[in-house]
A and B are shown apart, each in its own frame.
Chain A
Amino acid sequence: DAMVIQNPRYQVTQFGKPVTLSCSQTLNHNVMYWYQQKSSQAPKLLFHYYDKDFNNEADTPDNFQSRRPNTSFCFLDIRSPGLGDAAMYLCATSTGKRQLAKNIQYFGAGTRLSVL
């Protein structure tokens, strides 16, 4: 059974048109992450939530925002997508508790975003 679910798997949007990507988890983990992975590159962390505490990476553009309405769901909002934002977006979770976590992150299958 899928534990970290990302919807949709493929998303097409127009240049400048806001888009929202969704992630849900059944693991009851405290921490949820969003990564951007461009073609043939390593995933790059955009931000993460520890419970309701939002932590933005210093080099994440303001165009990217996130919401976490409850433990299970986290959203990635791209306010005005540019051509350079076309990528795979990965959601991941971890317990956030060192004794239990062993620092393991569990990934969703990703959403591939195309910008026309």
Chain B
Amino acid sequence: AQTVTQSQPEMSVQEAETVTLSCTYDTSESDYYLFWYKQPPSRQMILVIRQEAYKQQNATENRFSVNFQKAAKSFSLKISDSQLGDAAMYFCAYTPGDYGGSQGNLIFGKGTKLSVKP
């Protein structure tokens, strides 16, 4: 069974600084997708960034980038120039690439609560 592990329950970063959130996963599949989702307090979960396993190049979205190490099954999120609005719970998630009959069900890690200090 696939699993996703986020080993940092809480992280803190100073405004304008850089922070890295860790995520590891376990799968025997070769084709899959990895995601970071952000869930602000009392607000809906939104996609931050997505990585296809077959792509070697790390995904980037403005201030957000990932370090995808397929062999090590590691998928960390780097947030540069942190802003107060980045404070949220961040979830790492996995889904198999061929759906496997599961229509792309997401398997989430337990989340990392990020605080941003002014």
Contact in complex: B108, A43 (CB < 8 Å): yes
Q: How far, in Å, is B48 (CB) from chain A's closest CB? A: 11
Whether a CB of chain A sits under 8 angstroms from the CB of B54 is no
Contact in complex: B95, A103 (CB < 8 Å): yes
B111: which A residues are within 8 A, CB to CB? Answer: 40-42
Q: Is the interface of B mostly helix, strand, loop or mixed?
A: loop
Chain B minimum-CB-distance residue to A41? B110
Q: Encode A48-74 as 1/0 by CB contact (under 8 A) with B.
A: 101000010000000000000000000
Tell me the complex Cα distance, A106–B50, Å.
Answer: 13
Tell me the complex Cα distance, A48–B98, Å.
Answer: 17
Whether a CB of chain B sits under 8 angstroms from the CB of A104 is yes
Contact in complex: A107, B108 (CB < 8 Å): no
Whether a CB of chain A sits under 8 angstroms from the CB of B16 is no
Contact in complex: A31, B91 (CB < 8 Å): no
Q: How far, in Å, is B55 (CB) from chain A's closest CB? A: 12
List residues of A (83-105) whose CB comes within 8 Å of B's CBs.
90, 92, 94, 96, 98, 101-105
Q: How far, in Å, is A83 (CB) from chain B's closest CB? A: 22
Binding site for B on A (CB under 8 A): 4, 31, 33, 40-45, 48, 50, 55, 90, 92, 94, 96, 98, 101-110
* A-B complex: 5 closest residue pairs judged by Cβ atoms: A42-B108, A109-B44, A107-B45, A103-B33, A103-B104
